């Protein structure tokens, strides 16, 4: 039982939250921690806004457009940062973030 209108957005955000938190926990265990600082910060920031967005959309917020755009922007930043690293969790996280941003902006044609 969930908000049908926003289902695709909500599911993308929750998937992205999980991927970002997974990458965050994994990054904190890596040896090259110094290189992953920005990744750690952005993982948590992206997880936070994805959770916030999913919650707001599941309550059918009147500010859906603005919240989705903010969330997509932070997903972009996290994808860009994670995309710089060779760790498997970073590469997968970048992919999930990019896909989430596309869905939030209604650009999922090619997916």
Picking from 111, 95, 94, 100, the residue whose alpha carbon sits closest to that of residue 70 is: 100
The span from the CA of 109 to the CA of 87, in Å, is: 28
Is residue 39 a contact residue for its own copies (CB under 8 A)? no
The span from the CA of 92 to the CA of 100, in Å, is: 12
Q: Which of 9, 87, 89, 106 binds its own copies (CB under 8 A)?
A: 89
Using CB under 8 A as the criterion, what x/- string covers residues 52-71 for binding its own copies?
Answer: x-xxx-xxxxxx--xx--x-
Q: At what angle do helices 7-28 and 88-104 cross, to 10 degrees?
A: 160
Is residue 75 a contact residue for its own copies (CB under 8 A)? no
- Could you list the residues that contact its own copies (CB under 8 A)? 1-3, 10, 14-15, 17-19, 21-25, 28-29, 33-34, 37, 40-41, 44-45, 47-49, 51-52, 54-56, 58-63, 66-67, 70, 73-74, 77, 89, 92-93, 96
């Amino acid at each position: 039982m969930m908000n049908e209108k926003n289902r695709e957005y909500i599911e993308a955000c929750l998937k992205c939250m999980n991927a970002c938190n997974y990458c965050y926990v994994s990054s904190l265990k890596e040896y090259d921690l110094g290189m992953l600082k920005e990744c750690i910060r952005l993982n948590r920031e992206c997880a936070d806004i994805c959770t916030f967005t999913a919650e707001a959309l599941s309550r059918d917020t009147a500010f859906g457009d603005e919240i989705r755009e903010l969330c997509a922007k932070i997903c972009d930043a996290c994808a860009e940062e994670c995309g710089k690293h060779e760790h498997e969790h970073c590469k997968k996280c970048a992919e999930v973030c990019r896909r989430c941003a596309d869905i939030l902006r209604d650009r999922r044609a090619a997916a």
